[in-house]
Structure 1
Amino acid sequence: MDPRDLLARFHMPQLSSFQALDNYSTPVLGASALFCTIIAYTIAKMFGYGSRKNEFEVDGKTVVITGGSDGMGKAVALQLSAKGANVVVVARTVSKLQNAVEEMKASAVNSSKQKFHYISADLTDPAECERVIAEVTLWNSGAPPDVVWCCAGFSRPGFFVDVPIKEHRQQMDTLYWTAANTAHATLRSWLTPVSPNEQVKTPRRHLIFTCSTLAFVPIAGYSPYSPAKAAIRSLSDTLSQEIEMYNGAYSQRHSTNAPAADVKIHTIFPMGILSPGFDNEQKIKPELTKQLEEADKPQTPSDVAKISISALERGEYLITTMFIGHILKGTALGPSPRNSIIGDTLLSWLSNLVFLQVIPDLRGKAFKWGKKNGLPTPNPAS
């Protein structure tokens, strides 16, 4: 959805002179001022103005990336290798993993010091996730990874009743459970108590989920996919609270048993990403779904990775990768921790005003589609 579409939906005024101000009511002027504030805030954040120290330093650190053989996961692996990280990519297909490792070596900032590794695993199996973390720890000279970034998964769009229930379950397994299994194995490793006399200075560790803006605003045709992404967002919010108990213990590590490091949780919410998976998705995606999301301009994996890493370096928690994604996030912040109290509060106000128009419009388009075309015909590719 283009920002101009949002302006049109909300009937934002186009003012050419101060005299024109008299033609608009106070609520409309207030909405316009709010909109301009949000744009300025978003641009400042995206370009890093006002940023503090780097909260996501990866030089010399060990990073595990699931789904790292393709798409966004591979782009993240390449960019972190260019920042000095030692990277382990995890996926199922060995040939793709091997290619990813060779590309990481080529992009490494210091190939003589950095290390790269791959592990083939089915992350829907929790035992496999435990194996991955154990293997990485052994490979990393007995130290757990510093960063684990969950990127595994794919989208299988379709209308709820047209998609076999086993495929709904498969989406939950491939999206939610790969993330939950990986997080569980990772946190069990990271949160093992260490006695005060065993404590050494250990940098903060980061657990990162990859979600979707569909967790904020579902679209017709994504019923197999959106619930799994919403579950990841809920898991992330829950862990962002639970982890503070362990971080509190870590703050008293010199006098009591505590984890070896404090931990921060993050979640990335991209929109469309240009990749082989996206191409496959387009082949079976319902035409109504394509119409409803026609303003979503997919980003390249490299762009999504770059924006996400920059936000992590600013220390953000819920991370969106384009302006429309920020607006979608604003509608659904709820009790989630804010990246910025002022900025996210303003964003939430604007988003909820805008979506007074957007949600009825989406429902209306679905109604008109059914009225014109009748019952949907299942895609033969499905």
Structure 2
Amino acid sequence: MHPSLPSIPYHFSSTALGISVVASVLFSYALAKMLGFGSSNKFVVDGRTVVITGGSEGMGKAAACQLAERGANVVIVARTLQKLQESMEAIRGSAVNASKQRFHYISADLTKVEECERVISEVTEWNDGTSPDIVWCCAGYCTPGLFVNTPVQTLRDQMDTIYWTAANTAHAILKRWLAPITPSNQRPSPPKHLIFTCSTLAFVPIAGYGPYAPAKAAMRSLSDTLSQEIEIYNGSRAAKQRSRATPADVKIHTIFPMGILSPGYDNEQEIKPAITKQLEAADKPQTPREVARISIEALERGEYLITTMFVGDLMKGSALGPSPRNSWIRDTLTGWLSSLVFLQVIPGLRKQAFEWGRKNGVPSSST
């Protein structure tokens, strides 16, 4: 349900050396990461409580299973009760210590503010009066289509199911996490983690995703804003003289997958405009388990904006702007490489769209 870069002819002989140097440094950096040099786990979940919205299928379910494998207590949230019940069996079966870990599911419509508040309250009660340690927002689905051919109500529904489910959930949990407490109640506590699941379409939009991409772009903007705002509250814990402070630091993260093989992806393919399929023809969708694994490993490294394949890295590098960097060296070099690659990519996408229109004329609602 996400784009990839089209085939790019290499005729930048004058820049070949520069690209080779950048690629070599990126490879060395990646190799060091794979060998574990200078790394420590910044996303410990053993014994902690994780809430995953959209956890009944796809990436959300895969992430829930893998966190259960790491010792987490897991709560999944979705609308359909039957899917929740079926998924819960797989998640329980993934537990590393079934006698100690706990699992729960909640049916809720997260487009409604009061439902998000209910979910967090229910989880807190289930968790012996303690709010969850990690909230991962995976809820949402994609309805591709050309903007003009898409009913306005569908445009609104996409914003509700993508942006507002995440924003509502974030608002509900942050009110809990950021409530100040008195010094007598302050104890050392591991950081809390709020994770959004976005899309590389927030970096590089593709024709045919007009209903979907703007909601993902809004989610990325919310993430960047919160990454700044949250430091106000984290700073309260470092004050020399403090009467009140938040109970724990909070970390914000956002995942940017590309295509994910799932029932939702199959549904998208049935209604996706033909031009969109052409523009993203080189996209090689990943399995939910693969995307979840790569994302969790990046969270363990403490990364903020997380992509799940090299093409996604390039797309991110082209659009980082003022977003916080995971690594100044890696992200700067990727940005340089992206600036060269995208000299051809964006004109190529526009040219393909133009040629499609010249060949087929004004698109109908079925194309």
Runs (5+) with no aligned partner, structure 1: 13-23
100-109 vs 75-84, greater mean Cα deviation? 100-109
Equivalent position of 1:152 in the other structure:
139
Over the aligned positions, Cα root-mean-square deviation in angstroms equals 1.7
Aligned match of 1:115 in 102, 121, 125? Answer: 102
Alignment of 1:195-234 (within 5 A): 195-234=182-221
Q: TM-score, normalised by structure 1?
A: 0.92
Instruction: Give the match's secondary structure for 1:206.
Output: strand
Deviations 1:234-257 (A, max 9, x none): 000000000000000022387320
2:306 match: secondary structure: strand
Q: Output aligned runs, 1:277-316, within 5 Å.
A: 277-316=264-303
The C-alpha deviation readout for 1:151-173, integer Å capped at 9, x for no partner, is 00000000000000000000000
State whether residues 317 and 339 of structure 1, in contact with CA within 8 Å, keep that contact through their aligned partners in structure 2: yes
Q: CA deviation at 1:38?
A: 2.8
On the 8 A contact 1:51/1:314 being kept in 2, the answer is no
Give, in angstroms, the shift of residue 42 of structure 1: 4.1
Ranges in structure 2 where 5+ consecutive residues have no aligned partner: none
Could you tell me how far apart the structure 1 residues matched to 2:204 and 2:9 are?
Answer: 17
SS of aligned partner of 2:237: helix
- Structure 2-normalised TM-score? 0.96
The Cα of 1:328 is off from its aligned counterpart by: 0.3
Partner SS for 1:161: helix
* Aligned pair partner of 1:162 in 137, 146, 149: 149
Q: Which residue of 1 aligns with 2:79?
A: 92
CA distance in 2, matches of 1:185, 1:48: 39
What residue number does 1:183 align with? Answer: 170
Deviation at 1:377, TM superposition (A): 2.3
Cα 1:101–1:123 change in 2 (3 A) is: same
Q: Distance in 2 between matches of 1:253 and 1:193?
A: 16
Aligned-pair identity (%): 65
- Matched residues in 2 for 1:255 and 1:199: separation? 11
1:337-352 superposed matches below 5 A: 337-352=324-339
Residue of structure 2 in register with 1:9 after alignment? 9
How far did residue 58 of structure 1 move?
0.1
Residue 2 of structure 1 and its aligned partner are, at CA, apart by 7.7
CA distance in 2, matches of 1:231, 1:9: 33
Structure-2 change in CA distance of 1:310 and 1:133 (3 Å): same
Indicate the residue corresponding to 1:61 in structure 2: 48
> How many Å separate the matches in 2 of 1:325 and 1:2?
8
3-state DSSP class of the match of 1:89? Answer: strand
Task: Give the direction of change, closer, same or farther, for the CA distance of 1:161–1:368 in structure 2 (3 Å limit).
Answer: same
The reply to whether residue 33 of structure 1 matches residue 21 of structure 2 is yes
Tell me by how many angstroms 1:118 deviates.
0.4
Q: Give the AA of the match of 2:21.
A: A
Q: What is the distance in 2 between the residues matched to 1:322 and 1:96?
A: 29
| Corresponding letter in the other structure for 1:67 | G
Amino acid at match of 1:270: P
Residue 126 of structure 2 is aligned with which of 122, 126, 139? 139
Q: Which position in structure 2 is the counterpart of 1:325?
A: 312
Q: Is the 8 A contact 2:22 2:333 kept in 1?
A: yes
1:378 shift after superposition: 1.4
Q: How far apart are 1:297 and its partner, in Å? A: 0.3
Does the 8 A contact of 2:78 with 2:109 survive in 1? yes
Distance in 1 separating the partners of 2:32 and 2:273: 37
**Which residue in the other structure is 1:271 paired with?**
258
Q: What SS does structure 2 have at the residue aligned with 1:119?
A: strand
Matches of 1:196 and 1:92 in 2, distance apart?
40
- What SS is found at the alignment partner of 1:282? helix
Matches within 5 A, 1:234-249: 234-249=221-236
Change in 2 beyond 3 A, CA 1:253/1:81 = farther
